[in-house]
Chain A
């Protein structure tokens, strides 16, 4: 099946710093989604992208759907301690959904 490569695997940052993570695939996706998962919980949708080139923001989060439809990035600006968690990218090719391996974010106060 389609493989999603997500990087970095983990990040340790200081509160207030900006964060950037990305996903690439060898296949084209129709939709890119970014989720956040906290321990013992299911993923929660942060941002959904539906068109190549689309740039969408949700508060301090910004995500873009790559022009080639094979990549996406998520930026978090001015990180705060509650941003801690695992961030997953997911692609829909077009119906079921495949997940990246996740980026584990730690924010030091």
Chain B
């Protein structure tokens, strides 16, 4: 079945630094990838939709200059949290939509802690 690999699974960084999270579709080409953020005991909130080779579409309230998304190939999307602050600490999850739209496949998530 479809597998999405997300890396790293957890990261601790200092305030003011940038962190890059990778999302790879391992056995299928993902025309569209989605990035979600999940705070403790809350649901997944869609941050942005990225299509290969074009600019990401950000949800209202999500700063595109702070959360940089790059989807340079059909198997890789990256989310870079720039100038991270403690309030950016969260669980970030990507999902990928392949060319057959039978649901989405999620990565295992990245726990970001900013200290």
| A contact set with B: CB distance below 8 Å | 1, 31, 33, 35, 40-45, 48, 88, 95-102, 104
The reply to whether B49 and A102 contact each other, CB–CB distance below 8 Å, is: no
| B contact set with A: CB distance below 8 Å | 4, 6, 32, 34, 36, 41-46, 49, 59-60, 91, 93, 95, 97, 102-109, 111
Nearest-CB distance from A53 to chain B (Å)? 19
The reply to whether B107 and A33 contact each other, CB–CB distance below 8 Å, is: no
Q: Which of B6, B45, B59, B102 contacts A42 (CB 8 A)?
A: B6
Mind listing 7 A-B residue pairs with CB under 8 Å? A40-B91, A42-B4, A42-B106, A43-B93, A88-B44, A97-B95, A102-B42
Q: Which residues of the other chain, A, contact B45 by a CB distance below 8 angstroms?
A: 99
Closest Cβ neighbor of A96 among chain B residues: B49
What are the 5 closest A-B residue pairs judged by CB atoms, nearest first?
A: A42-B106, A48-B103, A99-B44, A101-B43, A42-B109
Closest Cβ neighbor of A97 among chain B residues: B104
Known A42-B108, A99-B43, A99-B44; further 15 A-B contacts with Cβ < 8 A: A1-B59, A1-B60, A35-B106, A40-B109, A40-B111, A41-B108, A42-B4, A42-B109, A44-B106, A48-B103, A88-B44, A96-B34, A97-B95, A98-B46, A99-B36
Q: Which residues of the other chain, A, contact B46 by a CB distance below 8 angstroms?
A: 96-99
